[in-house]
Amino acid sequence: MMEAGGRMLRVATWRLDAPSDHPPILFFNGIGANIEAVAPLAEQLPERGFVMFDMPGTGESPDPTVPYNPFTMSWTAKQILEQLEIDEIDVMGVSWGGAMAQHFALQYPKTTRRLVLVATTAGMLMVPGNPAALTKMANPRRYIDPNFMNEHFQTLYGGIDRDGAEHQKDSHIGRLKPPSPRGYFYQLLAMLGWTSLPALPFLGKETLVMMGDEDQIVPLINGRILASAIPNAQLEVFRGGGHLFLLTHADEAVASLRKFLDAPATEAELARAA
């Protein structure tokens, strides 16, 4: 547990003390999701440090006492990094966390090296997904009732299991811990009226946009919008990938992530950083 921005938050770190040629990854999770939901990703990139934290009212972080927004939560994340003595970070976010990642990179460009956006949008100016999936997405029962999650998994997330490991779905469901009602509501409230679209042309970071072409919650067109609005972005589409392609296409996704983050800095990138 760490205190940052006037909040007590549960923070997880991996390998920050280990020698590495790469900056750590600051990871922003999806709405209502706890650290354990994405912990396997940190294990699949052993050459890098990782920093994640449970949003207020999610996982084991206490309930929020007052609402927050992307600006205040980015400031809170920056305070966590300062306490961990991290000056430079690669920023990554999935779904709701992808919006947070965009805002953090815009708010703290000197701290952000590269940006990875997974199954996410530019905020309120998005192309909505399948209504049946969105209705179930807004229901916290998907975290509380494993049977509900299992029954509606395909409707919620779409896609196929490229890695052919059906047990991964059960493993994922088993790692979820339900957020508190207030925590879930405040996460929904935080993005009300928020959009990054007007600011994206000024986002001078190398950016990888990763999307699944069968995502029922965030249609592929949203990734195309992000990639076209960010000057230095590249779009990678995972065929047969739903909203959880990081799980179902894990090997392919990790290889793509590693290739992007490990690529040498271009002269243009170094000039922008300077």
What residues are labeled active site? 95
Q: Are 242 and 248 in contact (CB under 8 A)?
A: yes
Q: How many CA atoms lie within 13 A of 48 on its CB side?
A: 23
Q: Encode 122-155: b = buried (16+ Cβ within 10 Å), e = exposed.
A: bbeebeebbeebeebbeebebbeeeebbeebbee
